[in-house]
Amino acid sequence: MNQPTVPLSRVLEPATLLQQLRGRYATKKFDPSKKISPQDWSALEEALVLSPSSFGLQPWKFIAVNTPAIREKLMAASWGQRQLVDASHLVIFALKKNLGEADVKHLIERTAEAHGVSVESLEQYRQTMVGSLAGKKAGIDDWSARQVYIALGVFLSSAAMLGIDACPMEGFDPAQHDQILGLGAKGYSAVVMAAVGYRATDDKYAMAPKVRYQAEEVIEHV
């Protein structure tokens, strides 16, 4: 079968894409009265689910925290940053610890199901993944953390396209977050988070010029 592939359509002009990427910023002050609509939030959750990862291993969990009392506790373990309680939504990005053979097996089973093939037919693929993970053994959690950051990038871009503000945050105590959310016991660990919602009209950071190095400095052509 030589089915023609569906090409990816183009949904934004380059200028529009850049307008959004320039317009987003790490929102320091959210308007607590403005909430993300259920439809938009559902799309952002699906964007997380759809995020790419190496081998498609998805070594992550995303915790959407809506309970005010839990948000308060997390804020106390995050230098008191108000975004955690003022933003419409809050997501903790966690990595799956000690990713290994059982996780590969799980992905293989999911792949077999999605592709309608047998688990046995994917044995070589399974071995490749197991071998690759074993080679990373020393830093497997660091490797998983990198994958989580792809999801963060996809999430922040997606929010910007929907006109939703966000603040990615690393400034918190992961051990405390793990304990508050019961992540450690389940084999996960918090690595980064994002508060999402709508900026307060008086967030002074909103009007600050974006600080980026010149393209000539960070992009090299060879």
Site for a copy of itself in 40-99 (CB under 8 A): 40, 42-43, 45-52, 54, 56, 58, 60-67, 70
Task: Please return the burial class of 97, using the count of CB atoms within 10 Å of its CB with bins 0-12, 13-18 and 19+.
Answer: middle
Smallest distance, Å, CB 195 to a copy of itself? 13
Q: Does 191 bind a copy of itself (CB under 8 A)?
A: yes
Question: What is the pattern of x (binds a copy of itself, CB under 8 A) and - over residues 98-127?
Answer: ---------x--xx--xx------------
Report in angstroms how near the CB of residue 144 gets to a copy of itself at its nearest: 11
Q: Are 164 and 35 in contact (CB under 8 A)?
A: no
d(C-alpha 98, C-alpha 92), whole Å: 19
Pick between residue 101 and residue 171 the one whose CB is nearest to a copy of itself.
171
User: Cβ 40 to a copy of itself, closest distance in Å?
Assistant: 6
Rounded CA separation 116/166 (Å): 38
Minimum distance from CB of 79 to a copy of itself (Å)?
11
Element containing residue 179 per DSSP (H, E):
helix 174-181
Of residues 128 through 187, those in contact with a copy of itself by CB under 8 A are 139, 142, 145-158, 160-165, 168, 170, 181
Q: Of 66, 78, 82, 130, which is closest to residue 104 (Cα–Cα)?
A: 130
Select from 20, 81, 176, 179 the one that contacts a copy of itself (CB under 8 A): 20
Q: What angle do CA 53, 6, 48 make, to 5 degrees?
A: 30
Q: Is 23 or 33 the residue whose CB approaches a copy of itself more closely?
A: 23
Alpha-carbon distance of 141 to 123, in angstroms, equals 25
**Measuring CA to CA, how many Å separate 151 from each of 70, 176, 196, 214?**
23, 22, 15, 26
Q: Return the number of the residue (120 or 220) whose C-beta is nearest a copy of itself.
A: 220
In the complex, the smallest distance separating the C-beta of residue 179 from a copy of itself, rounded to whole angstroms, is 13
